[in-house]
Structure 1
């Protein structure tokens, strides 16, 4: 059975966010929050009838508006044009002043509309999960391509190192062979020189 939806509101960056969701946890997940904004006091359940009406029209969709008490929520909001003012709200508890600041909901939602909104939320949630799954699949493919490129480069390096080691070993073997020949030639010469010197001494005596 589809769960009844509530409208939740917070402020992140340059935007106020609102969403119709069955729970605070679902709202936090949709907002992509990594901490409990409700416990921190920067998120709350909205009682603004305009916000509720806008959120219920698109359950599960994160709606935005430039930070501030004015403006309506929409799926694609423009950045605020006045960023120099000092009146930017940091907590959703800071409501606009005036007689309309604490107005109760004037647009009660019927049971049929609630069920329709809850089903729409589930549809949007499934769409978002599918989109996230597609993005994760794309990221996984990208990781695999990068890993294949790394493996190929590593294999080429390993092969080059092995070839280099073979050549060094061959050169070392040649050096050792030449050293042996040099030592053999020195021994032969020493023996031959000694024999010739003996012959020379005998000839002089």
Structure 2
């Protein structure tokens, strides 16, 4: 059974945000909030009929408008036009409105519209879940591709190190053999030199 939707509203960064969702938790997840804005008093369930109507037309979609404005919500809102203007006037205007000023709802409850909106929200949730799954598959493939490249590079390095170790061992063996031959030659020469010097000494005496 489709869950009944409510409209939630908050302000993040340069925008006021609104969404039709079945719960505060769902709204926070859609907004990408990393803390409970409702407990902090920075978000609320909206009873503004214009905001509710806009959100119910696109359930599950985060709608935006420039922060502090009274304009209509849409998927793609422009940045506030008074970013470089008088901040005090902007704050005063927001303060005069109160924190999430409420309007009495004058729209009659339309059960059929609520049902359609709830079904539309579920479709949007499935679409987002499908999109997240697709992105996760793409991330996994990219991770596997990088891991394969790392494994290939590591294997090449390991092979080169093993080859170097073999060659170094051969060279070391040759060095040790040459050192042994040099020692043998030195010993032979010392004996030969002693014999020849002794013969020379005898010839002089």
| TM-score after normalising by structure 2 | 0.91
Deviation at 1:94, TM superposition (A): 5.1
Whether the 8 Å contact between 1:9 and 1:46 is mirrored in structure 2 is yes
| Partner residue in 2 for 1:82 | 82
Equivalences for residues 146-157 of structure 1 within 5 A: 146-157=146-157
**8 Å CA contact 1:69, 1:96 repeated in 2:** no
8 Å CA contact 1:65–1:73 kept in 2: the answer is yes
Structure 2 equivalent of residue 204 of structure 1: 204
User: TM-score scaled to structure 1, two decimals?
Assistant: 0.91
Aligned partners of 2:95 and 2:149: how far apart in 1? 53
Is the 8 Å Cα contact of residues 67 and 88 (structure 1) preserved in structure 2? no
Q: Secondary structure at the match of 1:177?
A: helix
Structure 1 residue matching 2:20: 3-state secondary structure: strand
Which runs of at least 4 in structure 1 moved beyond 4 Å after TM superposition? Answer: none
The RMSD of aligned alpha carbons is: 1.7
User: Would the alpha carbon gap of residues 185 and 88 (structure 1) be closer, same or farther in structure 2, given more than 3 Å must change?
Assistant: farther
Give the Å deviation of 1:108. 2.6
Structure 2 equivalent of residue 120 of structure 1: 120
Residue in structure 1 matched with residue 53 of structure 2 by the alignment: 53
Deviation for aligned residue 1:20: 0.4
The secondary structure found in structure 2 opposite 1:47 is coil
Q: Which runs of 5+ in 1 are unaligned?
A: none
Unmatched tracts of structure 2, length 5 or more? none
| Counterparts of 1:42 and 1:67, CA distance in 2 | 13
- Paired position in structure 2 for 1:177: 177
Q: 3-state DSSP class of the match of 1:191?
A: helix
Question: Kindly tell me: are residues 79 and 31 of structure 1, through their superposed partners in 2, closer, same or farther at Cα, counting changes over 3 Å?
Answer: same
- Separation of aligned partners in 2, 1:88 and 1:29: 29
Alignment correspondent of 1:142: 142
- Answer yes or no: is the 8 Å Cα contact 2:5–2:21 preserved in 1: yes
Q: How many pairs were matched up?
A: 199
Conserved 8 A contact 2:65-2:77: yes
Q: Which residue of 2 aligns with 1:69?
A: 69
Report the 3-state secondary structure (helix = DSSP H, G, I; strand = E; otherwise coil) of the residue aligned with 1:64: strand
User: Which has the higher mean CA deviation after the structures are superposed, 182-191 or 163-172?
Assistant: 163-172
Please give the residue correspondences for 1:3-14 in structure 2 after superposition, counting only pairs within 5 Å: 3-14=3-14
* CA 1:95–1:138: 2 relative to 1, 3 Å: farther
Is the 8 Å Cα contact of residues 59 and 124 (structure 1) preserved in structure 2? yes
